[in-house]
Amino acid sequence: MLIILSILFLWFLILFFFREWYNGELIISFLPYIWWFLLLIVIYLLFIVWKNIYSKSQKKSLKIKLSPLFLILFWILFWLYANELNNFYNQDYLEKWELDAPIKILFSNIYKENFNYDAIKQTISNEDPDVVMFVEFSDEHEENLKDYINEKYPYFDKTNRSRIFGWSVVMSKYPITNFHSIFKQTSAWKYWYFMVEKDSIPYYFYLIHTSSPTSYFDFKKRNQQLNIIKKEFFLEHENSRDEDAKIIMIWDFNLSPWSHYYKTFVNDFQWKFRNITRSVPMLFTRNLSEMLKIHKDFTFLPTRFRKYIWYFPILWSHIDQAFVTNSLKVKNFKKIHIDWSDHDWFVFEIE
């Protein structure tokens, strides 16, 4: 047990300070789970210390003697991770604004094999957003939703098609200006810059879907994509808008707020943007449990297990983000879950 505790302590300590490593990032993405795990260890060690204090036995094992030391060490770890978790969230980012004529926005990674078309249409109808943005919008989605979209949204546009992940799309009640002709899109990943204009007020949108770090190659590719976004945002795109423009940057980020690369990215933008998902404590947006239930690669699992797995909090993570410029007011942020989407949806109002 002492050996196991020593290895765990060193491992979590290294993980905390060297999270730029590929494996370190994958694990730190699930920081809330680490927090709970460390809490259980602290409680266990407290129990050992308590038994030591009230034990009548004069013979003390090495485990008993060292338990106070391990309690202190793991308490330090627990405090480090708890502080890291708590520092991300900020309730002030969603103040009780009064909005006169807001734009309501809905966003989701819809999942390319989500065939629950009725639920998709019902969710859009219930929320009645002005602007809807989806990533992983497939050929099947377009075929089955086109009549509904044409009826409800007069403006529709999409990126180049990705061979694997389909399109990123926007549907809007207001005119869309696609900057594709000025700033070239890439077919390798979904990164899109466009404008929606309401009452002669332009709102500039970034709809982004970076590579998922399911391999070291994709991990490196995603980090390169983040650098491209920063470069183009500051060096090319700023000439297309006023200095105090209203900008919304929304995406399936494919990295968590506790990632080294998230912090590096945000440090360059923090004077201009705020992440409104910080206002929702423990906001889990990516649900591996749902993916186990719906993905065809997991059909070897028993049907009953796949049906009910969603009710268990297995490896949920916060990888979808919504950044807005400081000039924008935001209210009524909430997330929505529908079956067959492995990401929860965002809906919120801006002005």
The pLDDT tens digits of the residues spanning 6-50 come to 889 998 999 888 888 998 888 888 888 898 999 999 999 898 888
233: domain CATH number? 3.60.10.10
Q: Is residue 165 part of a domain?
A: yes
Q: Is residue 48 a part of any domain in this protein?
A: yes
For residue 182, what pLDDT band results from cuts at 50, 70 and 90? Answer: confident
258 and 155 in a common domain: yes
The pTM of this model reads 0.86
CA distance 66 to 45: 10
The domain in which residue 28 lies consists of 2-88
In a domain, 289, yes or no: no
d(CA 241, CA 253): 24
Residues 82 and 112 in one domain: no
125 and 16 housed in the same domain: no
Least confident of 92-106, 135-149, 183-197, 293-307: 293-307
285 has a pLDDT exceeding 90: no
Cα distances (Å, whole numbers) of residue 244 to 46, 179, 230, 239, 275? 54, 19, 18, 12, 17
Q: Which of 29, 33, 31, 34 is nearest to 262 (CA)?
A: 29
Exposure b/e, 197-223, CB count within 10 A at least 16 = b: ebeeeebbbbbbbbbbbeeeeebebbb
The SS3 assignment for 312 reads coil
* Domain annotation covers residue 297: no
| Alpha-carbon gap, residue 132 to 347, rounded angstroms | 9
- Which of 157, 154, 131, 127 is closest to 142 using CA atoms? 157
Q: Is residue 305 part of a domain?
A: no
Residue 270: inside a domain, yes or no? Answer: yes
Other Cβ atoms less than 10 A from the Cβ of 144: the count is 15
| 3-class DSSP state of 150 | helix
Separation between Cα atoms, residue 342 and residue 250, nearest integer Å:
17
pLDDT in tens, 152-178: 999 999 887 777 778 889 999 999 998
**Last residue of a domain, which of 88, 119, 136?**
88
CA dihedral sign, ordered 310, 314, 315, 318: positive
Rounded Cα gap, residues 155 and 204, in angstroms: 16
The answer to the question of residue 202 being in a domain is yes
Is residue 301 in a domain? no
Per-residue model confidence as pLDDT tens digits over 221-247: 999 999 989 888 988 898 889 888 999
What are the angstrom distances between the C-alpha of 245 and each of 104, 207, 241, 265? 18, 16, 6, 20
Same domain, 63 and 192: no
Reported as a single tens digit per residue, the pLDDT across 49-65 is 887 776 666 556 666 67
Identify whether the C-beta of residue 286 lies closer than 8 Å to the C-beta of residue 347: no
Task: Residue 83: name the closest of 72, 91, 71, 75 by CA.
Answer: 75
Cβ contacts of 30 within 8 Å, gap of 6 or more? 256, 315, 317
